[in-house]
Structure 1
Amino acid sequence: MATGTSNLRSDPVDTGANAPSSTSPSVGRPPDRWRYLWLGSGAVLSLFAVNGRWDIPLAAWLFSILLLRFSRTSRVAVGVGLVWLVSVGAAMFFLWHVAVPLTGMTALGGVGFGTVLALPYLVDRLLAPRLGTVAGLLLFPMLLAVCEFVMGVFAPFGTAYGLLADTQYTNPALLQVISLTGPYSVGLLIGALATVVNYVWERPLSWRTARVPVIYAAVLGVVIIGGSARLAFFPVSTAQTVRIAGINPSTAALDVEMKALGQPGFDPLNIPRFDPATVPLESKAVIDDLFDETRRAARAGAKIVVWSENAARISVSDESAFLTAAQAVARDEQLYLDVAVNVYLPTAPYGRDETHFIGPDGALLWTYQKAHPIPGLETYTPGDGNVPVVSTPYGRIANVICYDADFPAIMHTDADIMLVPGGDWPQFGRLHTQMSSLRAIENGYSLVRQDFNGWSSAYTPHGQPISTQDTTVDHDPWIVDVPTHGTTTLYQLTGDIFAWLCLAGTLVLTGIAVIPRRSAI
């Protein structure tokens, strides 16, 4: 039997004169004559695992296996360099096919995405051969989870790209694990499959070799069976629900607004700049329409009404009068009204993206300002990120705005229902709304995302869709009955402790690999 397959220790590293250089293939990993086939196949599969319209869930589990095989059996510069190009290419492909406007900031973001997500391959290539079997198997997946975490918490684009959990939207049993650990554990499981398969690939088949994939399969099985059991035996209670209506401006009202601006009609891909001095005249038809649709929804039984992001456009001088009118509608119809407005300012940054939540008595319960404007696309001053929560007869109601929901940390809120006014575009709206469903699982609340020019959906605290509306073609009020009692999840209580443990583990393993060991005397 070949050396290194008779126990669970990895092949030793030769540190003497015959040790391979840092540009040679790893010890025990000779060049693979098929490695460029693995690179090409991994590159193609990676395009279908980018949180995009054409994602294939299985592709997310396979592409890193092949890219890891290529990087491990190639010289460092070539192997990691080409994997980096593949990673950046996948990020740019994402930006293109979901029609993200290409600006300097978004292009830089694409390069940044690719660079961060290529880092685990570099670290694995350099350090995994210096570690024992268990440590070598864990280094890549832990660092992959850490990279997702760093982008999701500290980068300006959040988890809009690079979060592998988003690619598994059609596997609710698997996704239930994020209620315990947060979304980054799915990336760890996918990364672990890559190292496990490569472990077997690099060694002659034996019982000792086979133990590693058996252990991995058992762990993955526990995750999926546990998630299935949660869905089957602990369903979300629908004994008490509240009727919620989502409101968008009607196309007819938007046409009137655009004609007041000298445009032939409403074009969702070409919304001209408003002049703060003339906003009241230009927006009157839309605001009147929004109030009319709100009244119609209330008379259809809605107790909570939420508008899509920036549904009303008002100048700062008219904000007080607008809120007075909104309070009158809420009071007259005896409902909770979440109005979403773009307030135009006479000086830079020229606008605020905010919501106002009004109670049935007309009281203003919160004013919330978007905490995460889209870098390179929105110039609003960010809000403080303190998510408002109000107790009502229908549970604890909370609110963020659109892109805020791509930052899991801000969504750790003790609520029963999370309202998310959104504003997207046809190529991205459905994906963006599906991504938000992970926040419902993580935090145990129902989530209602009312999206303009995209895809509106409501989800249970288990992330299961209740109702949807394609708002690229339908601007009628959307009405859905939503559970009023959320659940308490471990992730909501502990936050990102799992991700921090992955970071600590990665640092420990890196230290073990790079710190010279003293020889026994």
Structure 2
Amino acid sequence: MRKAVVYRVTGAVSGLLMTAGNIKGALAPLQAVALIPLFYLGASPKARWRDILTAGLYMGFGYILPQLVTLRFPISVTLVLLVHFTILMIALTAGSAYLLRRRKGTIVSSFAVGALLVVLDWANFTVLPMWGEAQSLGRSWSSYPYLILFTSITGITGIIFVLGTLQALIVNFVILPKLRARSFAAAIILLAIFGAANLNVRSEKPVDKLKVAAVGWTLAGSADDIDPQTEEGFDCLFARPVAKAAEAGARLVVSGELGFYIDKLNRGRWLERFGDIARRHKVFLAIGYLNAELNEDRLLFVNPEGKVVSEYTKTYLTPFEDYHRGTGQINLIEIEGVRVGGMVCHDDNFTSLSRKCGRNRTGVVVVPTLDWPQVKIAHLQSSIHRAIESRYTVVRAAINGISAIISPTGEVLTKDHFTDGPGVIIAEVPIYSSRTIFNIVGHWPVVVSALFLAVIVVRNVFVAII
């Protein structure tokens, strides 16, 4: 009974340490030690599989329940995520125990554990892509962007590989005295490789710069809200902030998702409004709006001549939306020689779209966003990863969320919640022209990890037969 309690507590604590950074980003480093007690117990030949599975169950509860309390999803979504992440953590716990036991006496087990975590994390945001890569176990590390620049090579799963492998090496160092020298050397080499990758990415110099701006506001859902559909509301929420941005030298101004309601009857009047502002201030506008006629969540680009030069329809919808989906076709425009693309809100949780932008050497990606208070931190954490992976600037204009301008190295140059009223953020951003390895190849660590694990399993089966 006492032993069973130890496994339950260990699992719950590991889950809590893994999830702490998702709630408060600064706590992300706790993940670097979260799995050590779990791996230590699992590596022991005395541990019963029933206890190991129980530890995984409690780890799942410890990981997902605090997030569900914070996010306050509807009960159906809550139950699906609870089951999903509980199964994931049980698989993590059981799989790591199997690998640490079967490959005991070699450091291969540590790298196998890292590979297992890569495959499981990929399955996590691929098998049930409710929130895309915002579901990744490594999401919170965007709070420390200079530590994860290597994700422009590996994608977000590279973070998981480092975390899993290092902690498995620590466990092997503790329980296997004969392997201490090799475990220590392997850990140093691993850190050196990823550290060198970070330095290499950071050493690249930008080829250009562009001043951009994001307009944002907050709606409380009360009668006191400013209505953007009225002349007064349009002037307060959009026209004046755009004028302020243009006066500061911005060449591109972005507004939030679904900021305006446009139907067949009033479309001409709205386009005339937007065109007039673009001509008056000689700026490009990227406007989030609802195309009521087609029931599509759209992004509209207007050039300084007041003409519509591109439109994009949101591709990935949340479980709460019933709009018609877009095709995923990314349309690029050019501003002073800089390629600019766009996505809408939830789209930036999916690398299938962000990599398209990166492969086309896009320098700036605009992301009109409409969040709610409980999800805004998690969504911003995820957006930062897309900037690093594809090395472009993100201009994120939010309604009821965090508007932010994020550099290609993941630095948040400026941000604002706009809880005190509508406003605008402005920054001059660096432009890079190179394509990243992740843009070109995608989640290659998943393929390598899966093959590595397959070889280990086949070898174990072959040895058992002999």
State TM-score, norm by structure 1. 0.79
Whether the 8 Å CA contact 2:10–2:55 is kept in 1: the answer is no
32 and 107 in structure 1: CA distance in 2 versus 1, 3 angstrom threshold: closer
Task: Assess if the C-alpha contact under 8 Å between 2:15 and 2:58 holds in 1.
Answer: no
Letter in 2 for 1:396: R
Identity %: 20
Of 294, 298, 301 in structure 2, the residue corresponding to residue 357 of structure 1 is 301
Compute the displacement of 1:235 (Å): 4.5
Measured in 2, the distance between the counterparts of 1:305 and 1:421 equals 11
- Structure-2 change in CA distance of 1:316 and 1:91 (3 Å): farther
Alpha-carbon deviations, 1:419-451, whole Å to 9, x = none?
111122334324422321121111111221122
Please tell me whether residue 266 in structure 1 is matched to residue 210 in structure 2.
no
Give the greater-gyration-radius structure (CA). Answer: 1
1:507 aligns with 2:451: no
Residues 32-111 of structure 1 mapped to structure 2, 5 A cutoff: 38-49=10-21, 51-53=22-24, 56-73=27-44, 74-97=47-70, 99-111=71-83
Amino acid across the alignment from 2:57:
W
1:419 and 2:419 equivalent? Answer: no
State the Cα distance separating 1:187 from its structure 2 match: 0.2
How far residue 285 of structure 1 moved from its aligned partner, in angstroms, is 4.5
Task: Indicate conservation of the 8 Å contact 1:35/1:69, yes or no.
Answer: no
Which secondary structure state, in structure 1, belongs to the residue aligned with residue 121 of structure 2? helix
Counterpart of 2:114? 141
Shift of the alpha carbon at 1:338? 0.6
Amino acid at match of 2:255: W
Match of 1:160, SS?
helix
Instruction: Classify 1:518/1:187 alpha carbon distance in 2 versus 1 (closer, same or farther; 3 Å).
Output: same
Q: Are 2:166 and 1:218 aligned?
A: no
Match of 1:181 among 154, 158, 167: 154
1:85-484 mapped onto 2 (5 Å cutoff): 85-97=58-70, 99-131=71-103, 133-154=106-127, 155-164=129-138, 166-203=139-176, 205-206=177-178, 208-228=179-199, 230-231=201-202, 233-236=203-206, 240-249=208-217, 263-266=222-225, 285-289=232-236, 290-344=238-292, 351-375=295-319, 377-412=320-355, 413=357, 414=360, 415-484=362-431
**Are 2:146 and 2:409, in contact at CA under 8 Å, matched by a contact in 1?**
no
Q: Find the residue that maps to 1:420 and give its secondary structure.
A: strand
Deviation for aligned residue 1:393: 1.3
Find the aligned partners of 1:315 and 1:100 in 2 and give their Cα distance.
Answer: 33
- Unpaired runs of 5+ in structure 1? 1-30, 268-278
Letter in 2 for 1:157: W
Does the CA contact (< 8 Å) of 2:43 and 2:100 recur in 1?
A: no
Rounded Cα–Cα distance in structure 1 between residues aligned with 2:265 and 2:62: 47
CA contact (8 A) 1:327 1:363 kept: yes
SS at match of 1:385: coil
Q: CA deviation at 1:129?
A: 2.9
Q: What value does the CA root-mean-square deviation take over the aligned residues?
A: 2.9
Instruction: Give unpaired runs (5+ residues) of structure 2.
Output: none
1:342 Cα shift?
2.3
Q: In structure 2, what is the Cα distance between the partners aligned to 1:452 and 1:504? A: 44
Q: CA deviation at 1:69?
A: 2.4
Question: Structure 1 CA distance, aligned partners of 2:140 and 2:312?
Answer: 30
CA contact (8 A) 1:117 1:162 kept: no
1:158 positional shift: 0.9
Q: Deviations over 1:162-200 (max 9, x none)?
A: 331x22234333211111111111100101122112222
**Can you list the C-alpha shifts for 1:314-367, whole angstroms capped at 9, x where unaligned?**
33543344234323332343221111012335xxxx942111112222332221
SS, match of residue 449 in structure 1: strand
- Compared CA separation, residues 116 and 35, structure 1 to 2 (3 A): closer
Q: Is the 8 A contact 1:283 1:313 kept in 2?
A: no
Provide closer, same or farther for how the CA distance between residues 222 and 368 of structure 1 changes in structure 2, counting only shifts above 3 A.
Answer: same
> Do the aligned partners of 2:391 and 2:432 also contact (CA within 8 Å) in 1?
no
1:323 to 1:94, Cα distance in 2 relative to 1, 3 A:
same
TM-superposition CA deviations, 1:31-64 (whole Å, max 9, x none): 8996566445424423414x22265122111111
Q: Equivalent residue of 1:48, what SS?
A: helix
Q: Distance in 2 between matches of 1:392 and 1:303?
A: 8
Q: 1:197 to 1:100 in 2, by over 3 A?
A: same
SS where residue 56 of structure 1 aligns? helix
**Cα pair 1:244 1:305 within 8 Å, conserved:** yes
In the TM superposition, what whole-angstrom CA distance separates every residue of 1:462-490 from its partner, at most 9, and x where no partner exists?
A: 22222222323352122221224443322
Give the aligned residue type for 1:366.
S
Cα separation, partners in 2 of 1:163 and 1:32, compared to 1, 3 Å: closer
CA contact (8 A) 1:448 1:457 kept: yes
Compared with structure 1, are the counterparts of its residues 36 and 84 closer, same or farther at alpha carbon in structure 2 (3 Å cutoff)? closer
Deviation at 1:230, TM superposition (A): 4.1
Amino acid corresponding to residue 450 of structure 2 in structure 1: L
DSSP-derived class of the 1:142 partner: helix
